[in-house]
Amino acid sequence: MVAKHTNRLAREKSPYLLQHAHNPVNWFAWNEEAFIRARTENKPIFLSIGYSTCHWCHVMERESFEDEKIGAFLNHHFVSIKVDREERPDVDKIYMTFVQSTTGSGGWPMSVFLTPELKPFFGGTYFPPAGRPGRPGFLQLLEQIAGLWRDRRTEIAASADELHARLDLVTVCAPRENSPLTPPTLQRAAQMFKEAYDPVNGGFGGAPKFPQPAIPSLILRAAKRFGDDEAVRMVLSTCEKMAAGGIHDQLGGGFARYAVDAEWLVPHFEKMLYDNAQLAQLYLDAFLVSGDPHHADLVRDILDYVLRDLTHPDGGFYSAEDADSEGHEGKFYCWTKAELSRLLTVEEYNVAAQYFGITAGGNFVDHSHPTPLAGQNVLSLAKPLRGRGRESAQTSGSSSVKPPPAHPGCHDENLLAAAKTKMLAVRAKRVRPHLDDKILVSWNGLMLGAFARAAAVLGDEKYRVAAEKNLAFLRGKLWDEKSKTLFHRWRDGERDQVQLLEGYAFLLDGVIQLYEATLKPEYLDFAIELAGAMIAGFYDPANGGFWQSPAGSNDLILRVKDDYDGAEPSGNSVATLALLKLAAITGREDFRTAAGATLQLFAHRLQNQPAAMAYLLSALDFWLDEPRRVVIAGDMQSANFHNLLRAAHSVYQPNKIVLGNTGAVEPFAKTLTTKIEATAYVCTGNACQTPAREVEILQLQLG
């Protein structure tokens, strides 16, 4: 079928922008062409920001941007610009700050009206096509804005100037005196998070529930420092509750972005690469703290899902999968009682229905659709099988199911395994949700670190291979060796020209973890190159901290230092911890100085708003003490070298680093040699414990 309309977005690479290429709206991308048009025609800009797997973005497109009347009005009165927030988080950050400061909330789709000078004067999020109580309809709003621009343009320009000045003040970040960084800062933050704990369902806060892995990860760190067993129980319970809920894809593996309820039952079904990367790290922590193999299984569940469904053939990781398929949220993932009754034998159905909580009425309704599907069931672990406390998750990452070991519940387990095999086969034939196949260096850095660390902790070579292949892809497609420049997005054979702090910081963190997992000197060399480029391009030597965008970004009205660890950690937080680790590995004081100045810049915020910077608090935990250094010397190809390397990663000791004794490591490490079999040295400063050649001794020294 030939599209009725085609606009400029058809030339773009972003899957989100391409989704709007056939709207009747004459969309522009965020570029100079659009800005010149607005200035030349003296029209206000309508800026719409979202992302390709955003459910409510789809709803607003269907209701408004595909509407001929609304499209014609926008084309006549506005210059309309679409931005993919995942490609341009720096643009999103500026206008989201404006929307949140003027309305008290934010989200996507984000709708902002700007002067031709890119200064915002009105904004919000989703607007319905027709008015509702307390919320104007979108066309009604457009008519009001167009009338104000026609009749009161001077007042709007003055108001936009004033709002811009306020926005500048809001985003200014300078260090404050008398903001000491001490262990009590961590203790107070951990206590605050503990007070928000949900003792029934796990998690730290109410509905809607986001995993926010930075928070439970920080709590585990604080528990280690202060000997808080209660905090450990809270985190482990949260991990179990999330894994049992519908937010966890019980058949295909991986986790959805968040749950709309407090029980983790009904997810917003989109799956994001960054969530799954951070959750893999959290479950690795949980495994090391608890020793429970179920947590290790969940790490495999996540990573196997990514390898199967989110990996480019050459090794890059895709960004996300949508919540919707065939126009309905969750249709790919949900099941009706009738469907399962037809698919399964009576015995299989009885076990599966009890286990997954299947009912005739269902537990999910897509309220955003005018004709919701009836009787939809989100799968969750509603009732464990007899003879076991929980599902082992061994089937989650694969469509083939191995028979479980025999025990009292073996018969039911075999029936459940058979049911899962049939369900996966049927689900594989459904229309899949949209895949956002752009490759972002920032999110890839997070997942690179997860694969590398999982390879070291779990001893699984396929994860190391995936990590090394991913880094080779990123270096080949997005790193310019000559100019030491890292670009942000690659898709369909083409990279963008955008540079962002989170790209450098997240990849730096991932490369450091890959070095620690392999001790290959070339990875340490690349980490040093990345760190140098990041500091040169983004660091503020006058006040500390890192700008989100490099100097000379002429399409931004503000230069911002991101200071919020939300669904994703901020670039400043990840850069700080990565630089602290790299300083400990290399002995480079310039790396530690930049990290320390960044901590000091945000010290007041860490003390007064710790919930906003949980990841940076983890960096503070690392900074407060001299880290333990595990130096492994000897033949890197020997079995004992690999045994010691895995043992070094097998103990939960978050404030340690693992390094070799060759390459660009700190000078003292180079003095630690061995002429016999591989040897590990656990050192603090220039003092080391007894050289360890046995795994058990090394683990005791780290415990």
pLDDT digits (tens, 9 = 90+) for 82-108: 999 999 999 999 999 999 989 998 999
The burial of 703, by beta-carbon neighbours within 10 Å (0-12 exposed, 13-18 middle, 19 or more buried), is given as: exposed
Tell me the average pLDDT of the chain: 93
CA 65 to chain centre: 29
DSSP type of residue 311: B
Contact predicate 318/437, CB 8 Å? yes
- Strand partners of residue 679: 633
pLDDT at residue 29, as a whole number: 97
Q: How far apart are CA 515 and CA 577, in angstroms?
A: 15
pLDDT band at 392 (very low <50, low <70, confident <90, very high): very low
Task: Give me 343's structure tokens.
Answer: 């698919």
* pLDDT higher than 70, residue 405: no
- pLDDT over 90 percentage in the chain: 88
244-273 b/e with 16+ CB inside 10 Å = b? bbbbbbbbbbbbbbbbbbbbbbbbbbbbbb
Answer whether 5's CB lies under 8 Å from 484's CB.
no
Confidence bin at 397 (pLDDT 50/70/90): very low
Q: What is the distance of C-alpha 371 from the center of its chain?
A: 32
- One-letter amino acid for residue 151 of the chain: D
Tell me what pLDDT residue 387 has.
53
DSSP string, 331-398: TTT-B-HHHHHHHS-HHHHHHHHHHHT--SS-SB--TTSSSPPSSBB-----SPPTT-SS---TTTT-
Give CA–CA dist 156/678, Å, rounded: 71
Going by DSSP bridges, is the β-strand pair 320-321/489-491 parallel, antiparallel, or unpaired? unpaired
Check: CB of residue 376 under 8 Å from CB of residue 336.
yes
Q: What pLDDT is recorded for position 162?
A: 92
Per-residue confidence (pLDDT) for residue 535, from 0 to 100: 98
Rounded mean pLDDT of 570-598? 98
Q: State residue 481's pLDDT score.
A: 95
- Asked if 316 and 470 count as a contact pair (C-beta separation under 8 A), the reply is yes
Residues 6 or more apart whose Cβ sits within 8 Å of residue 653: 224, 628, 702, 703
What residues pair up with 479 in beta bridges, in sequence order?
486
Residue 616 — very low, low, confident or very high, per pLDDT cuts 50/70/90? Answer: very high
Q: Are 364 and 247 in contact (CB under 8 A)?
A: no
Q: What are the angstrom distances between the C-alpha of 398 and each of 250, 276, 569, 679?
A: 11, 17, 30, 38
Question: Is-contact 453 517, C-beta < 8 A?
Answer: yes
pLDDT of residue 169: 81
Evaluate whether 436 touches 52 at the Cβ level (below 8 Å). yes
Residue 25: pLDDT band (50, 70, 90) is very high
Residue with tokens 């029209």: 43
pLDDT of residue 41: 97
Q: Give residue limits of the domains in the chain.
A: 8-171, 206-279+290-295+325-434, 626-703
The answer to whether the CB of 373 falls within 8 A of the CB of 331 is yes
Reported as a single tens digit per residue, the pLDDT across 300-328 is 999 999 999 999 999 999 999 999 999 89
Sequence-distant (≥ 6) Cβ neighbours of residue 568 within 8 angstroms: 274, 442, 443, 446, 502
Residue 2 is predicted with a pLDDT of 58
Q: What is the mean pLDDT of residues 28-42?
A: 97
CATH code for the domain defined by 626-703: 3.40.30
pLDDT digits (tens, 9 = 90+) for 246-282: 999 999 999 999 999 999 999 999 999 999 999 999 9
Alpha helix positions (H), 205-258: 214-226, 229-244
- Residue 305 contacts residue 256 (beta carbons within 8 Å): no
Express each pLDDT in 186-222 by its tens digit. Answer: 999 999 999 999 999 999 999 999 999 999 999 999 9
Q: How sure is the predictor about 554, in pLDDT bands with cuts at 50, 70 and 90? A: confident
pLDDT average, residue stretch 62-78: 96
* C-alpha–C-alpha distance, residues 419 and 341, integer Å: 11
CB 292 within 8 A of CB 286: yes
Distance between CA atoms of residues 355 and 349, nearest Å? 10
Task: Specify whether domain 8-171 bears CATH 3.40.50.300.
Answer: no
Say if residue 401's pLDDT is above 50.
Answer: no
Query: Does the CA dihedral 90-92-93-94 come out positive or negative?
Result: positive
Whole-angstrom distance, CA of residue 393 vs CA of residue 242: 13
The secondary structure of 121-143 as a DSSP string is EEEES---SS-BTTB--HHHHHH
Q: 494: which residues sit within 8 A by CB, 6+ positions away?
A: 13
Is pLDDT at 428 greater than 60 in this prediction?
yes
**Terminal Cα-to-Cα distance of the chain (whole angstroms):** 65
Write out pLDDT tens, residues 507-543.
999 999 999 999 999 999 999 999 999 999 999 999 9
Res. 393: pLDDT tops 60: no
- Are 317 and 306 spatial neighbours (Cβ–Cβ below 8 Å)? yes
Are 52 and 122 within 8 A, CB to CB? no
At residue 159, the 3 state secondary structure works out as helix
pLDDT, position 409: 56
661: its two tokens: 């004794």
Domain 8-171 and domain 626-703 have a common topology: yes
CA-wise closest residue to 317 among 455, 485, 460, 472: 472
What lies within 8 Å, CB to CB, of 620 at 6+ separation is: 181, 185, 186, 599, 606
User: Residues 535-559: what's their mean pLDDT?
Assistant: 93
pLDDT value, residue 180: 84
pLDDT at 449 over 80: yes
pLDDT-above-70 percentage for the chain: 96
